[in-house]
Amino acid sequence: MGAMNEEINSILKLMTAVEEFTYGRRTYYTGFINGTKSVVVFSRWGKVAAASTVTSLIIKFNITDLIFIGVAGAINPALKIGDIVIADQLVQHDMDARPLMDRYEIPLLGVTYFKPDSNLMAIAEKAIHEIIGNQARPFIGQDERDRFSLTNPELHKGSIASGDKFFARSK
């Protein structure tokens, strides 16, 4: 799932036996990626759009796992354009129900961070190293790599914050 068409287009190129379904004002693409039955969808922007799309994926397509892909900004100065980040924890940066609970705490769950499944992280890490080893050629054309000076992308693991607010500076 991605929040922009541009984010899912390269994934769609990897799919075989593609079928297209429209459901809940979204277009879902089913098919196979490296022999694995997959569903790809453009969720639209924002938490509400993402949540309703994931609900449809669960109900209509019976998914058991979800990978969200997308472009992002970064406040870590070590990150460069083209680097890939996989989350070792996720936080909703604009969740703030104080004084009822701590900042970032998800109501009714009592947690502030979500941790991804370690087995799925290992699979993602292996796949990303293969992509980086190929200089991301199947995903990013040479024109784009030249235009954005994309050389030697690196894999990073770290916290990913999500929310419905864009940041222009770190403070």
Residue 24 in domain: yes
Q: What percent of the chain has pLDDT over 70?
A: 93
The answer to whether residue 136 scores a pLDDT higher than 60 is: no
- The residue from 17, 43, 71 where one domain ends is 71
**Structural domain span for residue 77:** 72-164
Residue 116 in domain: yes
Q: HSE of 96 in the Cβ direction (CA atoms, 13 Å)?
A: 4
The residue among 160 and 72 whose pLDDT is bigger is 160
Please state, in angstroms and rounded to a whole number, the distance separating the CA atoms of residues 77 and 54: 32
38-73: pLDDT as tens digits: 999 999 988 889 999 999 999 999 999 898 887 777
80-114: pLDDT as tens digits: 888 888 999 999 888 899 999 999 999 889 999 99
Q: Mind giving me the DSSP string for the chain? A: -BSSHHHHHHHHTT-EEEEEEEETTEEEEEEEETTEEEEEEB--SSHHHHHHHHHHHHHHH--S----B-----S-TT--TT-EEEEEEEEETT---TTTS-TTPBTTTTBS-B---HHHHHHHHHHHHHHHHTTTTTTS-HHHHHHTT--S--EEEEEEEE-S---SS--
The per-residue pLDDT for 45 is 86
The residue among 124 and 137 whose pLDDT is bigger is 124
Q: How many domains does the chain have?
A: 2
The answer to whether residue 30 scores a pLDDT higher than 70 is: yes
The per-residue pLDDT for 171 is 65
41 and 5 part of one domain:
yes
Residue 31 in domain: yes
- The pTM (predicted TM-score) of the whole model is 0.78
Q: HSE of 153 in the Cβ direction (CA atoms, 13 Å)?
A: 21
107 and 29 part of one domain:
no
Residue 169 in domain: no
82 and 123 part of one domain:
yes
The per-residue pLDDT for 152 is 79
The residue among 18 and 165 whose pLDDT is bigger is 18
